[in-house]
Amino acid sequence: MSIFLETKRLVLRAPELSDLDELVTLRSDFEVMKYTGEGGAQTKEQVEDYLNFALSYQKKHGMGFYLVFEKESGSFVGEAGLFHLLFDDTQPEIEVGYHLHKKFWGKGYATELTKTLVHWGFQHLLINKLVAATYPNQTASQKVLQKSGFNFRGKKQTSDGMELFWYEIYKSDGVETTHLQLHRPTAADALLLRALWQDKQVRQFLGGVVSNELIDEKIVSLQRHWDQHGFGQWSVIDKKQEQVIGICGLHHSEDGIELSYMFFPASWGKGLAKEATCANLDYGFNQLNLDKVIAITQEANTNSCCLLESIGMRAIDRFRRFDTVQLLYEITKNEYTR
Q: What is the mean pLDDT of the chain?
A: 93
Same structural domain for residues 125 and 13? yes
Domain end, chosen from 171, 187, 212, is at 171
- Say if residues 136 and 165 touch (Cβ distance below 8 Å): yes
Same structural domain for residues 90 and 207? no
- Residue 207 carries which side chain, given as an amino acid letter? G
Same structural domain for residues 70 and 198? no
Give the pTM.
0.67
Residues 154-183: what's their mean pLDDT? 87
- Say if residues 297 and 326 touch (Cβ distance below 8 Å): yes
Give the integer Cα–Cα distance in Å for 133 and 135.
7
Express each pLDDT in 201-228 by its tens digit: 999 999 999 998 999 899 889 989 998 8
Q: What is the pLDDT of residue 60?
A: 95
Same structural domain for residues 285 and 166? no
**Which CATH number fits the domain that encloses residue 188?**
3.40.630.30
Residue 338 has pLDDT above 70, yes or no: no
Closest CA to 13 of 48, 54, 50: 54
Alpha carbon 136 to its chain centroid, in Å, reads: 21
User: What total of structural domains would you count in the chain?
Assistant: 2
In this predicted model, which residue has the larger pLDDT, 147 or 70? 70
Q: What is the pLDDT of residue 258?
A: 98
Q: How confident is the model at residue 61 (pLDDT cuts 50, 70, 90)?
A: very high
Residues present in the chain in total = 338
Query: Strand 151-157 relative to strand 76-84: parallel, antiparallel, unpaired?
Result: unpaired
Same structural domain for residues 315 and 330? yes
Same structural domain for residues 210 and 280? yes
Helix axis angle, 139-147 to 109-124, nearest 10°: 50
In this predicted model, which residue has the larger pLDDT, 126 or 159? 126
Residues 31-48: what's their mean pLDDT? 90
Express each pLDDT in 171-206 by its tens digit: 877 888 999 999 988 877 888 889 999 999 999 999
Q: What is the pLDDT of residue 206?
A: 93
Same structural domain for residues 157 and 187? no
- Say if residues 101 and 70 touch (Cβ distance below 8 Å): no
- Say if residues 291 and 266 touch (Cβ distance below 8 Å): no
Same structural domain for residues 198 and 237? yes
Express each pLDDT in 240-293 by its tens digit: 888 899 999 999 999 999 999 999 999 999 999 999 999 999 999 988 999 999
Cβ neighbours of 144 (radius 10 Å)? 25
Residue 1 has pLDDT above 60, yes or no: no
Residue 296 has pLDDT above 60, yes or no: yes
Domain end, chosen from 125, 150, 171, is at 171
Query: Strand 324-332 relative to strand 292-298: parallel, antiparallel, unpaired?
Result: antiparallel
Domain end, chosen from 122, 139, 171, is at 171
Same structural domain for residues 119 and 198? no
Residue 304 has pLDDT above 80, yes or no: yes
Q: What is the pLDDT of residue 157?
A: 84
Same structural domain for residues 124 and 199? no
Q: What range defines the domain where residue 224 resides?
A: 177-336
Same structural domain for residues 92 and 136? yes
Q: How confident is the model at residue 106 (pLDDT cuts 50, 70, 90)?
A: very high
Question: What are the angstrom distances between the C-alpha of 12 and each of 40, 69, 112, 192?
Answer: 25, 7, 12, 32
Same structural domain for residues 36 and 164? yes
